[in-house]
Structure 1
């Protein structure tokens, strides 16, 4: 008999402080308009003029997502985030900047990946995911072999994946899992390639807090 239990959560809390009234209103009015479909879908159908689609998994407050959308108005930016306060914050950015190229999934990113067709994304960002630092919780980390396989499936050939973390052990384990996949090619040629933020990186308030145990590390890969 198949295991009917849901997969382990890869994220912590769903909601923290009370959401401001203005952002709460956007949850009711704007989110339904830009929420991705709850059934399998083709990203290109969500924005006919988009030259390609990018995905950010765990967008936090939406700063990076909104900045990338503003810099690339011809790209569809899909964001996945289960944290209610983060979704509300991202909606504020979308509303204030009038970003018509953002679509959101307010839930588990793995559910979203399962609804995407093969080779449908040109870029994926996974920036500072929940590190689950305690050893007994490492099984809850997002980057596991099955998730890497799904990421490879939805990335088009030549597509790019970026992972960043400020937890040394998570960086090491994630790198092991990415390198174990022959379809992902690590682009680093020297130490500065992972020690320095990439030229197109957008620093967020979370990153500036330096809550991890090491300086931020950036791992970029290309889908073979």
Structure 2
């Protein structure tokens, strides 16, 4: 049997997770209506770019170095990085529309001008990112999918790591933060198999946060509930 196809002819992908939660506030609806379009790379959309031609990143960021945040949650880390590093451009991918709305509010408040937002599955973004275009990627407190039968849904699997590695520059940095010990185990097993090396010389390299880190709401919840954060740094080889 042949694989399912999107109506445009592109590969069909199952997505496991939520697209929307509680009802959005009127202000959040306004941010989505007014701000998302100008910030969203339209060429990622199936109907706009069914051939999945590479996106022109210079159109959005000029000659800036490009970073990528995969699943930005409420957007606090992404906006922090954008404001702290105005010389770079940062793309955020997040399918959960409530999180997208929260990010748009933070972008308005910060005045950041170096952010692009894709409100969907990061695998679609990987389809159109030029090879070797990403200098730094972040995977911060991803969905742990705790049941063993669901571990194949985690980001740290071949279907995500192979296109991530392809999109990253040699020497690019990939950061993972998680409070789930088994996610740490799987990351340390799988990420090096797909073109990365783990940069750790001693325990402080995974026990202590990065120097430019700000705690996210997910990390704060983990700490309240007694879970221990881990900070893993990999380099594209």
TM-score relative to the length of structure 1 = 0.93
Aligned to 2:4: 4
Instruction: Let me know the Cα RMSD of the aligned residues.
Output: 1.6
Aligned to 1:197: 209
- Is the Cα contact below 8 Å between 1:166 and 1:213 reproduced in 2? no
What SS class does the counterpart of residue 210 from structure 1 fall into?
helix
How far 1:3 sits from its partner (Å)? 1.3
- Is the Cα contact below 8 Å between 2:196 and 2:234 reproduced in 1? yes
How far 1:213 sits from its partner (Å)? 7.5
- After TM superposition, which residue ranges in structure 1, 4 or more long, deviate above 6 angstroms? none
What SS class does the counterpart of residue 19 from structure 1 fall into?
coil
**Residues 213/143 of structure 1: CA separation in 2 closer, same or farther (3 Å cut):** farther
Aligned to 2:101: 88
Q: Distance in 1 between matches of 2:109 and 2:193?
A: 42
Aligned to 2:8: none
- Is the Cα contact below 8 Å between 1:52 and 1:121 reproduced in 2? yes
- Is the Cα contact below 8 Å between 2:76 and 2:106 reproduced in 1? yes
Pick aligned residue for 1:102 from 101, 109, 115: 115
Aligned to 2:22: 17
Q: Distance in 2 between matches of 1:9 and 1:52?
A: 30
Query: Greater relative contact order: 1 or 2 (C-alpha under 8 angstroms, separation 6 or more)?
Result: 1
Aligned to 1:54: 67
Residues paired across the two proteins, number? 221
Unaligned runs of 5+ in 2: 6-11
Pick aligned residue for 1:163 from 173, 176, 184: 176
